[in-house]
Amino acid sequence: MKNIRILLMSLILLFGGNYLLAQDQPKIDSLFQVLRTSKQDTNKVLLLYELSREFFNNDIVGSEKYANRALFLSEKLGYKRGIALSYTNLGIINYYKAIYGVALSYHERSLELMSEIGDKKGMAGSHNNKGAVYTQQANYSKAIEEYLNSLRIMEDISNEEGMGKSYNNIGLVYYLQGNYPEAKNYYLKALEIFRKRGDKARVSDILNNMGLIAYEEGDYDGSLEFHMNSLETRRTLGNNRGQATSYTNIGDVYAATEGFEKALEYQKKALAIQEELGDKKGMLSSMKGIGTVYSLTGKKEEALEYMNEVLELSTEIGANRELRDAYNEISNIYTDMGKYEEALKYKAKYSEIKDTLFSEQTVEIASNIEAKFENEKKAKEIEILRKENEIQDLELARNRLLIIASIGGLFLAIIFIIIFARINRDKRKAMQLLQKQNENILKQKEEKEVLLKEIHHRVKNNLQVINSLIRLQCAYTDDQEALDLFDECQNRIISMALIHEKMYEAHDLNNINIKEYVSQLAGNLLRSYRLNQRINLDVEVFTEQLSLDTLVPLGLLLNELISNSLKHAFEGREEGTITVKLSKNEENLFELYVGDNGVGLPRDFSIKSANTLGMELIETLTDQLDGTITRMPEEGSYFKILFKGLEQQRADIRNAMKSESDLAA
């Protein structure tokens, strides 16, 4: 149960009160009325910000729309506080869309601006939000660091509400680590603050968390009582997201006490709300709960179906804990079915990701052992030096007469020592100079890498601004044909922005994970078209390195081919598969194989004769990559593109220039 329920704790501590209440339609109408007559100033920024907050619980798309409008106007006015607040809202929205890297980036930028303008409460909120993202990613050491930073600031400004949030989040980390007494200790500190303030929403959330601990300790009656009390308050407040979480938790309690019919009823209620809200983390909880009930009641095939959906969604959003538990559950189901080979395969995957999640703890233990070893080593070195000094004293006393008799030889020895010392001093100075030069070279290299990454980061941000402008423009037209064109344009911009995001995130600019980029691009397109069919993605990439010059046209080419498949290939079909394969052949050419098993194209179809922008782009981008495109004679619609890539072209140019230089010489 622990791995499923953590999302609420992160949720309630990210926001102010408005996020926990139902959508206030009279307030929204009032805000719209003021917005229509407001000038393009900072007051309008705050109106847009409030609209984004009001839309959040029941319309996350609308919330993102108004957050982007607030950001655009704030940047136009140079209003730093408005920019920081907009970044906070966009970070929260991306957190609930399970796009954690983007969410963390927004919160980091919000923290920078809050620090710059001296807004301590805003700084504490940004630290808290970063901690919530790290908690979801199971990076507990960084999460607790951010929560403590937030707590210190809240204590400094005597903000009780913020202190209560920090206590709650610290309790969450202890809960996730299985330290239930400490978790309850911090929850009770938070509960005391929120009851004193009369904050029913926060109190209901803490009751939910106390219910989770009671469940883990085997007190199912107590757990059910906590969750029912929490659910009643959330219904009163109209908190749909909180109700879904309570339904999931109550379903788990009934499953543990073999009330399977009620367990299934509550889990399905939760899933319906979470699908409507687009809450992917919550969907993972409910789908796993439904799969568990089916498994316990002997319906193994149905259980496998839900657990595989958990596996797919966990992989998509990078939820490592849920991915680990899904592997383990599927392994157990296959064991119950007597399919031991499959069970062993999934158990191995479970062990692998489990090791990854605990690697941070292993590193910390190793660091402690290393520190202990270094301390013992230094103590032994000191003891050896002390013994050596004692021996030297004895030898000096014993050989004093010999030293006096050999004063002439000693004089010569001193001369040699002086000469040697001077040589050694010059050598040391030379080494220090060389070391300083190496440090300067390394520093310049690091500065260049940081500058390049910042350039990629700014390019990505500019593309996102363009994308936001297009999205805003969409809100002012009802022409479906124009909206479709805007969507295609946005997908092309996103494919380019994704490349620059990968360049910014890469530790080494020359080593971008090509497979991860292609998979994410295809996944973004699949979500963008919102098809009712079940579309599978078969992505295989055997190329480890491509330059940015090649990646940009390649990404746009993939965007056009996959978009064509999503738009036309699966009409009248319930499911289908889109295949993308990228490799290098024996002739040192890149080979891209893209297609679908859909309805197929007419036999007389030709890219050159097709009079559409998409096909014209495909042909242009293929030429840009110095390649050729061929339609494959297979069922469905498949294309093979052979291309050199701009890496090979540049190598050819360099070789040609070198040959000309040799001839001139």
CA distance 489 to 500: 17
Residue 13 has pLDDT above 70, yes or no: no
Per-residue HEC secondary structure of 157-206 comes to CCCHHHHHHHHHHHHHHHHHCCCHHHHHHHHHHHHHHHHHHCCHHHHHHH
Closest CA to 7 of 254, 282, 200, 220: 282
User: What band does 361 get if pLDDT is binned at 50, 70 and 90?
Assistant: very low
Using alpha carbons, select from 628, 625, 623, 650 the residue that is nearest to residue 639.
628
Which range, 29-38, 353-362, 520-529, has the best average confidence (pLDDT)?
Answer: 520-529
The pLDDT assigned to 340 comes to: 87
Partners of residue 630 on adjacent β-strands: 640
Q: In what order do the strands lie in the sheet with 534-541?
A: 534-541, 575-584, 590-596, 637-643, 627-632
pLDDT at 30: 74
Res 217 pLDDT > 70: yes
Report, as an integer, the average pLDDT of 81-89: 92
Predicted confidence (pLDDT) at residue 16 exceeds the cutoff of 50: no
More confident residue, 583 or 665: 583
- Section 349-359 average pLDDT: 73
| pLDDT digits 0-9 by tens, 221-279 | 999 999 999 999 999 988 888 888 899 999 889 988 888 888 888 988 888 988 888 88
pLDDT of residue 288: 86
Residue 512 has pLDDT above 50, yes or no: yes
Residue 643's DSSP bridge partners are: 590, 627
Mean pLDDT in residue range 619-623: 88
Is the pLDDT at 55 greater than 50, yes or no? yes
H/E stretch holding 622: helix 613-624
Name residue, tokens 């959906």.
309
Residue 575 has pLDDT above 70, yes or no: yes
Whole-number pLDDT of residue 12: 41
Look at 504 and 410; give whichever has higher pLDDT: 410
Q: In a 3-state reduction of DSSP, which class is residue 595?
A: strand
**Poorest-pLDDT segment among 130-144, 426-440, 470-484, 541-555:** 470-484
Overall average pLDDT of the 316-329 stretch: 83
Q: How far apart are CA 646 and CA 650, in angstroms?
A: 6
Are 202 and 194 in contact, with CB atoms under 8 Å apart?
A: yes
Number of other CB atoms surrounding residue 589 within 10 Å: 17
Q: Say if residue 70's pLDDT is above 80.
A: yes
Q: Looking at the chain, how many residues does it have?
A: 665
Q: What is d(CA 512, CA 506) in angstroms, rounded to the nearest whole number?
A: 6
Please give the pLDDT value at position 228: 92
pLDDT at residue number 6: 37
pLDDT over 50 (residue 605): yes
Q: Is 512 helix (H, G, I), strand (E, B) or coil?
A: coil
Q: Which of 166-180, 184-198, 429-443 has the lowest mean pLDDT?
A: 429-443
Q: What is the pLDDT of residue 458?
A: 65
Inform me whether the pLDDT recorded for 377 exceeds 60: no
Tens-digit pLDDT profile for residues 622-664: 888 889 999 888 888 999 999 887 765 555 545 554 554 454 4
Transcribe 448-505 into DSSP letters.
HHHHHHHHHHHHHHHHHHHHHHHHHHHTT---HHHHHHHHHHHHHHHHHHHHHHHHHH
pLDDT of the residue at 405: 65
523: its two tokens? 């996944």
Predicted pLDDT of residue 20? 40
Query: Of 135-144, 519-528, 570-579, which gets the smallest average pLDDT?
Result: 519-528
Q: Which segment of 86-100, 107-121, 339-353, 434-448 scores lowest on mean pLDDT? A: 434-448
Give me the percent of the chain exceeding a pLDDT of 70.
Answer: 77
Of the pLDDT bands very low, low, confident and very high (cuts 50, 70, 90), residue 510 is: low
Collapsing DSSP to helix, strand or coil, 368 comes out as helix
Mean pLDDT along residues 579-601: 90
Asked if the model's pLDDT at residue 500 lies above 70, the reply is no
**Whole-number pLDDT of residue 276:** 86
Whether 355 and 374 have beta carbons less than 8 Å apart is answered as no
**What integer pLDDT is reported at residue 371 of this predicted model?**
38
Mean pLDDT across the stretch 496-514?
A: 64
Residue type, 140: Y
Question: Is the predicted pLDDT of residue 594 greater than 70, yes or no?
Answer: yes
Specify the pLDDT at position 433: 81
Write out 232-294 in H/E/C secondary structure: HHHHHHCCHHHHHHHHHHHHHHHHHCCCHHHHHHHHHHHHHHHHHHCCHHHHHHHHHHHHHHH
Residue 581's SS3 state is strand
Cα–Cα separations (whole angstroms), residue 140 to 51, 172, 206, 276, 618: 33, 10, 20, 30, 46
Which residue did the predictor score with more confidence, 455 or 552?
A: 552
Spatial neighbors of 132 by CB under 8 A, at least 6 apart, are: 10, 11, 13, 14, 95, 143, 169
Burial class (CB in 10 A: 0-12, 13-18, 19+), 442: exposed
Helix (H) or strand (E) holding 53: helix 42-55
Average pLDDT over every residue of 505-510: 56
Which tops the pLDDT comparison, 283 or 400? 283
Q: What is the mean pLDDT of residues 481-505?
A: 68
Q: Within a 10 A sphere around the Cβ of 488, how many other Cβ atoms?
A: 18
How is residue 412 written in tokens?
């010569």
340 vs 416, more confident: 340
